[in-house]
Chains A and B, each alone.
Chain A
Amino acid sequence: MENAGYLLAAFILIWAALLAYTFIIARKQAKMRRDIELLREQLEEASQK
């Protein structure tokens, strides 16, 4: 099991980075969709006045 630490380091790094990237994308997207809906509602309200 010589050098197992290097394999472990690479393994953890790859999956932590990819998981973090996917998580950041998902959060950004959810926030943006909320913003778009909010702005749409505001536009509709303004056009009805």
Chain B
Amino acid sequence: MKRKILFALSSVLILLSFYMVLVFVPTEIDMGIVQRIFYYHVPLAWIAFLAFFVVFTGSIIYLAKRSTKWDNIASASAEIGLVFISLMLITGSIWAKPAWGVWWIWEPRLTTSLVLWFIYVAYFIVRGYVSGEERKARFGAVVGIIGFLNVPLVFLSVTLWRTQHPPLTIFSGGLEPPMLATLLVCLVAFNFLYFYLLSERSMMKNDERMLSQIKETMARRNA
């Protein structure tokens, strides 16, 4: 029931975001129409950071309690975070081409974001290589905790170093009200989508464990 509500809310808000991004919001004077990528690019980044924070928290709780529920939540969130950060990097690159004239620049925000992407790819490589459910969860939790240390660095990179990436103007009142409203609708829509996907994916991880337990029981009976 809770999942259906999350799905319905995210669907309605996503449809509303289509209208707001493509029709409602005024075109930015300097960058033109391509600036509209920003309304999805920022929420993609936000969800990736939120997802990795959930991995971090879930991993700590897993190591403290050794409850598979928390490993399911952490690994599900890592997967969703990886999808969102991949889209963030790609949309950023698509925006950079007309804005900067190149697809990619090795500047602090982009480089630290790419490092973050590699960390969470490594999270799944580690889980894939280690044998045994308990060891997979334990090794994954360690990578999930250490990997999160890069998130504040990505966030603060625009203030710590001189970068070409635009600074975050949302909190300093740098957005006109229709632009802010559009961004907020996209942010809320993506949050609902994230919690829906997290709920589905962590339940699915639970089903995967149950399936392997049933198979083991059957194999023992047949032996």
**Stretch touching chain A among B49-57, B66-74, B204-212:** B204-212
Q: Could you tell me the distance between the alpha carbons of A29 and B207 in the complex, rounded to whole angstroms? A: 8
| Nearest-Cβ distance from residue B17 to partner chain A, whole angstroms | 10
Is A3 in contact with B204, judged by CB distance below 8 angstroms? no
Interface residues on A, range: 20 to 34
Interface size on B, residues (CB 8 A): 34
Q: Could you tell me the distance between the alpha carbons of A39 and B21 in the complex, rounded to whole angstroms? A: 48
Q: Mark B18-49, 1 if CB is under 8 A from A, else 0.
A: 00011000000000111011001100100000
| Nearest-Cβ distance from residue A2 to partner chain B, whole angstroms | 6
Is A17 in contact with B210, judged by CB distance below 8 angstroms? no
| Nearest-Cβ distance from residue A20 to partner chain B, whole angstroms | 10
Q: SS class of chain A's interface: helix, strand, loop or mixed? A: helix
Whether a CB of chain A sits under 8 angstroms from the CB of B200 is yes
Q: Could you tell me the distance between the alpha carbons of A4 and B37 in the complex, rounded to whole angstroms? A: 10
**Stretch touching chain A among B94-102, B144-152, B157-165:** B94-102
Q: Could you tell me the distance between the alpha carbons of A32 and B211 in the complex, rounded to whole angstroms? A: 8
Q: Mark A1-24, 1 if CB is under 8 A from B, else 0.
A: 111101101110110011001100
| Nearest-Cβ distance from residue A27 to partner chain B, whole angstroms | 11
Selected contact of A2 from candidates B32, B40, B87, CB within 8 Å: B32
Is B98 in contact with A6, judged by CB distance below 8 angstroms? yes
B interface residues (Cβ-Cβ under 8 A, vs A): 21-22, 32-34, 36-37, 40-41, 44, 83, 86-87, 90-91, 94-95, 97-98, 193, 197, 200-201, 203-204, 207-208, 210-211, 214-215, 217-218, 221
Sample 28 A-B pairs with CB under 8 A, ordered by A number: A1-B33, A4-B33, A6-B34, A7-B34, A9-B94, A10-B40, A10-B90, A10-B91, A11-B21, A11-B37, A13-B90, A14-B44, A14-B87, A17-B87, A21-B83, A21-B197, A22-B197, A25-B200, A29-B204, A29-B207, A33-B207, A39-B211, A39-B214, A39-B218, A43-B214, A43-B217, A43-B218, A43-B221
